[in-house]
Amino acid sequence: MKLIILDRDGVINHDSAAYIKSPQEWRPIPGSLNAIARLNQAGFHVIVATNQSGIGRGLFDMTALNAIHEKMHKALAQAGGRVDAIFFCPHAADDNCNCRKPKSGMLTDIAHRLNTPLRGVPLVGDSIRDLQAAAAAGAAPILALTGNGKKTQRAGGLPPGTTVYADLAAAVDVLAA
């Protein structure tokens, strides 16, 4: 199975320090939806793995998260793409759960549910915790310089083997070639 895992905020859509709390706040990064469509056309199953601590903090609820994801699904369909599944961690950072990136629990769950190992599976993220989770799960960490990506790159400490691209579209140019 050809599989790719994408972080949401900062990779697919613009991020916000105040969190994406409603469909109105969700705006795709230019080129990201077409990049996902190209992944689909190249035979990839596209999975989103996203921390959504705004739920645990009481900033929005599951109804709002579902509405945000519905908007994303509709926008992707208009671009000829799709996401096969969305996995998310609703916990706040201080909940110390196993599913919140940088821990690998969410990725382990993906591997279990899809019955496939993650060794070498590309994971595109914009933060160090995305990359650390990928490395811990045996996936291939890819840093997109959108969202928090440039700040993450400047901070250093990237897991060994991390590749860096300007954005999701640039990564897909290589992955789906």
What are the structure tokens assigned to 116, written together?
Answer: 């496939």
Alpha helices in 43-104 (DSSP H): 53-56, 62-78
Could you count the other beta carbons within 10 Å of the beta carbon of residue 93?
Answer: 13
C-alpha gyration radius of the chain: 15
Per the residue annotation, which of 7, 15, 130, 167 is the catalytic one? 7
Could you count the other beta carbons within 10 Å of the beta carbon of residue 69?
Answer: 18
| Distance (Å, whole) CA 142 – CA 168 | 9
Catalytic (active site) residue 126: no
- Residue 171: in which H helix or E strand, if any? helix 168-175
Per the residue annotation, which of 9, 126, 130, 167 is the catalytic one? 9
Task: Report the SS3 class of residue 110.
Answer: helix
The answer for residues whose C-beta is within 8 angstroms of residue 92's C-beta and 6 or more apart is 53, 56, 57
Residue with tokens 């509709």: 74
Catalytic (active site) residue 84: no
Please choose, from the candidates 161, 135, 131, 134, the residue with its C-alpha nearest in 3D space to the C-alpha of residue 149: 131
Residues that are catalytic: 7, 9
